[in-house]
A and B are shown apart, each in its own frame.
Chain A
Amino acid sequence: MMTIAEIRRRDTRTAKLLSAYPGKWVTLSQDKTKVLGVSSRMESALVQAHKKGEAVPHLVKVTDLPIGSFVL
Protein backbone atom coordinates (compact mmCIF):
# COMPACT_ATOMS: atom_id res chain seq x y z
CA MET A 1 0.00 0.00 0.00
CA MET A 2 1.27 3.47 -0.88
CA THR A 3 2.16 5.72 2.01
CA ILE A 4 0.51 9.14 2.42
CA ALA A 5 3.78 10.77 1.31
CA GLU A 6 3.88 8.63 -1.84
CA ILE A 7 0.24 9.40 -2.61
CA ARG A 8 0.93 13.13 -2.23
CA ARG A 9 3.94 12.99 -4.53
CA ARG A 10 1.88 11.12 -7.12
CA ASP A 11 -1.03 13.57 -6.83
CA THR A 12 1.30 16.55 -7.25
CA ARG A 13 2.78 14.99 -10.39
CA THR A 14 -0.72 14.28 -11.72
CA ALA A 15 -1.87 17.85 -11.04
CA LYS A 16 1.15 19.17 -12.93
CA LEU A 17 0.44 16.79 -15.82
CA LEU A 18 -3.18 17.94 -16.04
CA SER A 19 -2.37 21.64 -15.87
CA ALA A 20 -1.20 21.46 -19.49
CA TYR A 21 -4.78 20.84 -20.66
CA PRO A 22 -7.04 23.61 -19.33
CA GLY A 23 -10.70 23.18 -20.22
CA LYS A 24 -10.18 19.69 -21.69
CA TRP A 25 -11.41 16.23 -20.81
CA VAL A 26 -8.34 14.12 -20.09
CA THR A 27 -8.05 10.37 -19.60
CA LEU A 28 -5.18 9.04 -17.50
CA SER A 29 -3.72 5.59 -16.99
CA GLN A 30 -4.99 3.85 -13.85
CA ASP A 31 -1.82 4.78 -11.98
CA LYS A 32 -2.35 8.40 -13.13
CA THR A 33 1.16 8.74 -14.51
CA LYS A 34 0.32 8.89 -18.24
CA VAL A 35 -2.06 10.96 -20.33
CA LEU A 36 -3.93 8.64 -22.70
CA GLY A 37 -6.47 10.97 -24.25
CA VAL A 38 -7.24 14.68 -24.53
CA SER A 39 -10.33 16.22 -26.08
CA SER A 40 -12.94 18.88 -25.63
CA ARG A 41 -15.44 15.98 -25.72
CA MET A 42 -15.58 13.45 -22.92
CA GLU A 43 -16.48 10.56 -25.22
CA SER A 44 -13.50 11.22 -27.47
CA ALA A 45 -11.04 11.28 -24.55
CA LEU A 46 -12.43 7.93 -23.39
CA VAL A 47 -12.17 6.37 -26.86
CA GLN A 48 -8.53 7.47 -27.11
CA ALA A 49 -7.72 5.78 -23.80
CA HIS A 50 -9.57 2.58 -24.66
CA LYS A 51 -7.76 2.41 -28.02
CA LYS A 52 -4.49 2.54 -26.09
CA GLY A 53 -5.57 -0.54 -24.16
CA GLU A 54 -6.60 1.03 -20.87
CA ALA A 55 -9.80 -0.78 -19.86
CA VAL A 56 -10.73 1.59 -17.04
CA PRO A 57 -9.01 4.95 -17.52
CA HIS A 58 -9.33 7.75 -14.99
CA LEU A 59 -11.41 10.58 -16.45
CA VAL A 60 -10.77 14.20 -15.48
CA LYS A 61 -12.27 17.49 -16.61
CA VAL A 62 -9.50 20.05 -16.20
CA THR A 63 -11.51 22.99 -15.02
CA ASP A 64 -10.94 26.36 -13.49
CA LEU A 65 -14.47 26.36 -12.12
CA PRO A 66 -14.74 26.37 -8.35
CA ILE A 67 -15.21 22.75 -7.39
CA GLY A 68 -16.65 23.11 -3.90
CA SER A 69 -20.39 23.10 -3.40
CA PHE A 70 -23.09 22.10 -1.03
CA VAL A 71 -26.49 20.61 -1.55
CA LEU A 72 -29.48 21.33 0.64
Chain B
Amino acid sequence: MSHTIISYSQVNLGHSHRDSPKIVYVPLLDTKLCYQNRQTIFSFSSIIDSGADFCVFPAKFGRLIGLPVEEGDAIVTSGIGGKEILYFHKIQVSVVIREQIWKFECEAGFSFKMNAKGIGFLGRKGFFDLFEEVAFNQQKRMVKLKGEGTRNLCD
Protein backbone atom coordinates (compact mmCIF):
# COMPACT_ATOMS: atom_id res chain seq x y z
CA MET B 1 0.00 0.00 0.00
CA SER B 2 1.51 3.34 -1.04
CA HIS B 3 1.82 6.37 1.16
CA THR B 4 2.80 9.99 0.78
CA ILE B 5 4.50 12.20 3.33
CA ILE B 6 3.59 15.88 3.60
CA SER B 7 5.58 18.36 5.64
CA TYR B 8 3.93 20.97 7.83
CA SER B 9 4.44 24.55 6.59
CA GLN B 10 5.66 27.45 8.65
CA VAL B 11 3.20 30.28 9.16
CA ASN B 12 4.30 33.52 10.81
CA LEU B 13 1.66 35.20 12.96
CA GLY B 14 3.23 38.62 13.09
CA HIS B 15 0.99 40.47 15.52
CA SER B 16 -0.36 37.65 17.61
CA HIS B 17 -1.16 38.09 21.29
CA ARG B 18 1.67 38.36 23.81
CA ASP B 19 1.55 34.78 25.07
CA SER B 20 0.65 33.06 21.83
CA PRO B 21 3.27 31.69 19.45
CA LYS B 22 4.57 33.94 16.69
CA ILE B 23 5.26 30.98 14.43
CA VAL B 24 3.04 27.95 13.96
CA TYR B 25 3.46 24.87 11.82
CA VAL B 26 0.42 23.51 9.98
CA PRO B 27 -0.14 20.93 7.26
CA LEU B 28 -1.11 22.95 4.19
CA LEU B 29 -1.94 21.95 0.63
CA ASP B 30 -2.26 24.20 -2.39
CA THR B 31 -5.90 24.12 -3.45
CA LYS B 32 -8.14 25.17 -6.34
CA LEU B 33 -11.91 24.99 -6.62
CA CYS B 34 -14.04 24.24 -9.67
CA TYR B 35 -17.79 24.61 -10.18
CA GLN B 36 -19.50 23.97 -13.50
CA ASN B 37 -16.18 24.23 -15.38
CA ARG B 38 -15.27 27.54 -13.74
CA GLN B 39 -12.07 27.27 -11.79
CA THR B 40 -10.42 29.68 -9.37
CA ILE B 41 -7.79 31.70 -11.24
CA PHE B 42 -5.45 31.29 -8.30
CA SER B 43 -4.42 28.69 -5.80
CA PHE B 44 -4.68 29.09 -2.05
CA SER B 45 -3.65 27.14 1.03
CA SER B 46 -5.92 24.70 2.83
CA ILE B 47 -5.24 23.07 6.18
CA ILE B 48 -5.53 19.31 6.52
CA ASP B 49 -7.87 19.46 9.50
CA SER B 50 -8.84 16.26 11.31
CA GLY B 51 -11.20 18.31 13.49
CA ALA B 52 -13.27 19.49 10.55
CA ASP B 53 -16.19 17.28 9.62
CA PHE B 54 -16.33 18.80 6.15
CA CYS B 55 -14.19 20.65 3.66
CA VAL B 56 -14.85 24.35 4.18
CA PHE B 57 -13.78 27.31 2.06
CA PRO B 58 -14.26 31.09 2.11
CA ALA B 59 -17.57 32.16 0.56
CA LYS B 60 -15.67 34.78 -1.42
CA PHE B 61 -13.78 32.07 -3.32
CA GLY B 62 -17.06 30.31 -4.12
CA ARG B 63 -18.57 33.48 -5.53
CA LEU B 64 -15.54 33.98 -7.78
CA ILE B 65 -16.32 30.70 -9.57
CA GLY B 66 -19.99 31.57 -9.95
CA LEU B 67 -21.35 29.65 -7.00
CA PRO B 68 -24.68 30.99 -5.71
CA VAL B 69 -23.33 30.56 -2.18
CA GLU B 70 -26.42 31.46 -0.15
CA GLU B 71 -28.64 29.12 -2.22
CA GLY B 72 -26.85 26.08 -0.80
CA ASP B 73 -28.15 23.98 2.09
CA ALA B 74 -27.43 25.98 5.21
CA ILE B 75 -26.11 24.32 8.36
CA VAL B 76 -25.30 26.10 11.59
CA THR B 77 -22.00 24.85 12.97
CA SER B 78 -20.05 25.54 16.12
CA GLY B 79 -16.31 25.64 16.57
CA ILE B 80 -13.49 27.59 18.16
CA GLY B 81 -14.63 30.71 16.35
CA GLY B 82 -18.20 30.37 17.62
CA LYS B 83 -21.36 29.72 15.61
CA GLU B 84 -21.27 29.97 11.88
CA ILE B 85 -23.55 29.23 8.94
CA LEU B 86 -22.08 27.02 6.26
CA TYR B 87 -23.71 26.86 2.83
CA PHE B 88 -23.12 23.51 1.15
CA HIS B 89 -22.49 22.93 -2.54
CA LYS B 90 -21.16 20.07 -4.61
CA ILE B 91 -17.90 21.22 -6.14
CA GLN B 92 -14.67 19.80 -7.48
CA VAL B 93 -11.57 20.37 -5.40
CA SER B 94 -7.98 20.10 -6.67
CA VAL B 95 -5.10 19.79 -4.24
CA VAL B 96 -1.40 19.45 -4.94
CA ILE B 97 0.22 16.62 -3.00
CA ARG B 98 3.97 16.41 -3.52
CA GLU B 99 3.71 18.08 -6.94
CA GLN B 100 0.87 15.82 -8.12
CA ILE B 101 -2.63 17.18 -8.67
CA TRP B 102 -5.45 15.26 -6.99
CA LYS B 103 -9.06 16.05 -7.87
CA PHE B 104 -12.12 15.01 -5.96
CA GLU B 105 -15.77 15.94 -5.75
CA CYS B 106 -17.29 16.83 -2.43
CA GLU B 107 -20.11 18.60 -0.67
CA ALA B 108 -18.14 21.53 0.69
CA GLY B 109 -19.27 24.22 3.09
CA PHE B 110 -18.77 27.89 2.28
CA SER B 111 -18.31 30.34 5.12
CA PHE B 112 -18.49 34.13 5.15
CA LYS B 113 -16.47 34.21 8.39
CA MET B 114 -13.58 32.55 6.59
CA ASN B 115 -13.36 35.37 4.05
CA ALA B 116 -11.08 37.18 6.48
CA LYS B 117 -8.71 34.22 6.74
CA GLY B 118 -8.39 33.37 3.06
CA ILE B 119 -7.66 29.70 3.67
CA GLY B 120 -9.62 26.47 3.36
CA PHE B 121 -10.07 23.42 5.57
CA LEU B 122 -9.73 19.92 4.14
CA GLY B 123 -11.96 17.92 6.44
CA ARG B 124 -12.86 14.29 6.98
CA LYS B 125 -15.78 14.11 4.53
CA GLY B 126 -14.29 14.58 1.09
CA PHE B 127 -10.57 14.80 1.71
CA PHE B 128 -9.86 12.21 4.43
CA ASP B 129 -12.24 9.81 2.63
CA LEU B 130 -9.64 9.55 -0.13
CA PHE B 131 -7.23 7.67 2.12
CA GLU B 132 -7.02 4.49 4.14
CA GLU B 133 -5.18 6.32 6.91
CA VAL B 134 -4.19 9.89 7.68
CA ALA B 135 -1.51 10.00 10.38
CA PHE B 136 -0.16 13.18 11.98
CA ASN B 137 3.37 13.10 13.38
CA GLN B 138 3.52 16.24 15.46
CA GLN B 139 7.15 15.75 16.53
CA LYS B 140 8.40 15.47 12.96
CA ARG B 141 5.80 17.94 11.66
CA MET B 142 4.63 15.55 8.99
CA VAL B 143 1.39 13.97 7.80
CA LYS B 144 1.34 10.51 6.27
CA LEU B 145 -1.42 9.83 3.76
CA LYS B 146 -1.74 6.08 3.31
CA GLY B 147 -3.65 4.32 0.59
CA GLU B 148 -4.01 4.31 -3.15
CA GLY B 149 -6.10 7.43 -2.91
CA THR B 150 -8.35 6.52 -5.80
CA ARG B 151 -11.73 5.95 -4.17
CA ASN B 152 -13.25 9.34 -4.78
CA LEU B 153 -10.93 10.62 -7.45
CA CYS B 154 -12.51 11.90 -10.61
CA ASP B 155 -10.95 12.73 -14.03
Contact = CB atoms under 8 A, between A and B. Distances in A.
A51 B124 CA distance: 37
Chain A, interface size category, equals: 35 or more
Contacts, number: 112
B109 A67 contact: no
A59 B42 contact: yes
Given A25-B118, A70-B51, A71-B121, A8 B7 contact: yes
Interface in A23-69: 25, 27, 30, 42, 46, 49-50, 55-69
Interface of B: 5, 7, 9-16, 20, 23-24, 26, 30, 32, 41-45, 47, 49, 51-54, 56, 60, 77-81, 84, 86, 98-99, 109, 116-119, 121, 123, 142
8 contacts: A1-B98, A15-B12, A46-B42, A49-B42, A58-B42, A60-B44, A63-B13, A66-B16
